[in-house]
A and B are shown apart, each in its own frame.
Chain A
């Protein structure tokens, strides 16, 4: 009898379970939890307008760090010469170049998230593409600063540009340094354009909801966009071209940066695998930085908990885990081939990495880039926890900075002339490097008050495409292709 009763209750119980699953799915996925567009617009505008006193305190502190650490120190170095920096024989490439490589690496995240995930139609990307794209542009600004610092006589930077002159000076376009100029300029311009194009509809939305100086500001930037059929078609076409074309540009930038080193026949540098190894390293640090930014944006900005959910951390966490594995694979490849070669100087260098005075950095790099991410990101619950993935992201960025430090100043210490070996002790590079970090955060904070961080139209488009479908007893998420 009891058995029969249980069976009779089953349809009702199954219905309740089904209903709960549907509710859970909606709660879990932003794409299944649509709000009226007007409300989403208001939420994004509200997040830009709500600024607490804590924001201004942090903003003021960062401004001081930028003024002193970056601009004052740089001015001091210009007046007194590169001698105030720690670079000297044999280490002429120090923290300025470590930071250049580091910031270019950070800049890869925006393109990866926005372009690659757009091309592959990864739907979870939608609410945070802009947050990642902003990192690309601001990261490249810091990379530009760092390379200009390295130049020393920065006022002669225009010598890199090709222009006819009576001295017969012309850049050598077959040198990796000229490739750098071309690649970084191309990437900075294209990533800025790629940031701006999908921003236009959101600037128009902000224009429609603003008054006073803000209205004028958004009106100018929105360029008169209304959302006509033609405007959308031109925009969609352009964004498609950008999404496909910017991917090889992104790959070329960090490959070319790696060639700055690999083209030299130095122990530790002359490696055919440096290109992809640098690219994967850039993605590693970039993804770590994206997850940090998302955790901060979600935790500090109003209404962002609706747009950025644990599902997004979960998805990025998975990507980070894969990228960490790929980085370990490339690192081991690079290490093994050099170790196996048995060259006397390379052997000395590898021993110097591990057993030298900076050996702690080499081991920390492996722990932060591989051990910790693998230990945490395999677990779905852990990688969905914002504060935990923030720590992993921070660790990866420290680890990747260490990696660049090992590749540049530590490796340059060991050369084929042992009488010149000398450990690098950075000088004014340290405050200047901290200044670039503060400037990056400062630019991001300013942008978060001026630019809608969430592309509302892209979110709405995604929500239109998503629905729930029942297969037998199971409810599943389905996505329609609206293009």
Chain B
């Protein structure tokens, strides 16, 4: 069984990083074995990477439905349990109920969107992680998982493509 190793290559710019990803693919590194770390949002298209999956919009929709149902309970069901007759209105009049439905739908959607980021990104996570602080200075890092035997080949290729440094990545407390 081959031993796996993580390499962290740091690039000064976007262009060489994108070239490096292409080269890594040619060498035989699968997209799943690469991750790009950057200080600004760099789109998958810029790097020639496959689209990333995110559950955030689905969770937002789920939250909106849940919020709507909560609003419906408050607007239509509880008034029949605790009856208050106001200004000749019915127990569950529609026009004022729309406001309750709207506010709770939006609250549900926005809360679940926020929680969706936490769930999808595994936040909060205070475990040791593979990272270099140069990233927040604008550098772009490529994290590559590869067999130990390919280390030299990949390191050379990345350096040739302009990597400022390529080193085995060690998990550390951020």
Contact (Cβ within 8 A) A230 B121:
yes
Indicate which residue in B82, B97, B117, B129 contacts A235 across the interface (CB closer than 8 Å).
B117
* Contact A174:B97 (CB < 8 A) given known A226-B174, A229-B36, A252-B103: yes
Q: How far is the CA of A440 from the CA of B133 in the complex (A)?
A: 35
Q: How many A-B residue pairs have CB under 8 A?
A: 189
Q: What residues of chain A have their CB less than 8 Å away from a CB belonging to chain B? A: 36-38, 41, 162, 168-170, 172-175, 178-179, 182-183, 185-186, 189-190, 193-194, 196-197, 201, 204-205, 207-209, 219-220, 222-238, 241-242, 245-246, 248-249, 252, 256, 457, 460-461, 464, 482-483
Quick one: closest B residue to A233, CB to CB? Answer: B52
Contact (Cβ within 8 A) A249 B136:
no
Residues B108-129 near A (CB distance < 8 A): 109-111, 113-114, 116-118, 120-127, 129
7 A-B residue pairs with CB within 8 Å = A186-B104, A208-B136, A228-B36, A229-B44, A238-B114, A245-B113, A457-B39
Quick one: closest B residue to A179, CB to CB? Answer: B99
Quick one: closest A residue to B34, CB to CB? Answer: A229
Indicate which residue in B86, B111, B135 contacts A226 across the interface (CB closer than 8 Å).
B135
Rounded to whole Å, the gap between the CB of B75 and the closest CB of chain A is: 6
Q: In the complex, what residues of A have CB within 8 A of residue B52's CB?
A: 229-230, 233
Rounded to whole Å, the gap between the CB of A44 and the closest CB of chain B is: 11
Contact (Cβ within 8 A) A230 B120:
yes
Rounded to whole Å, the gap between the CB of B56 and the closest CB of chain A is: 4
Contact (Cβ within 8 A) B84 A241:
no
B107: interface (CB < 8 Å): yes
Rounded to whole Å, the gap between the CB of B94 and the closest CB of chain A is: 10
Excluding A223-B125, A483-B43, 10 further A-B contacts by CB distance (< 8 Å) are A36-B138, A170-B78, A173-B78, A173-B96, A173-B100, A190-B107, A222-B174, A227-B135, A245-B106, A460-B39
Q: How far is the CA of A65 from the CA of B30 in the complex (A)?
A: 62
Quick one: closest B residue to A482, CB to CB? Answer: B43
Q: In the complex, what residues of B have CB within 8 A of residue A482's CB?
A: 43, 46
Nearest 9 interchain pairs by C-beta: A37-B138, A170-B82, A224-B125, A38-B137, A174-B96, A223-B124, A223-B123, A208-B133, A233-B52
B79: interface (CB < 8 Å): yes
Contact (Cβ within 8 A) A41 B137:
yes
Rounded to whole Å, the gap between the CB of B50 and the closest CB of chain A is: 10
Q: In the complex, what residues of B have CB within 8 A of residue A178's CB?
A: 100
Contact (Cβ within 8 A) B113 A179:
no
Q: How far is the CA of A178 from the CA of B37 in the complex (A)?
A: 46
Contact (Cβ within 8 A) A256 B99:
yes
Q: How far is the CA of A483 from the CA of B102 in the complex (A)?
A: 30
B57: interface (CB < 8 Å): yes
B89: interface (CB < 8 Å): yes
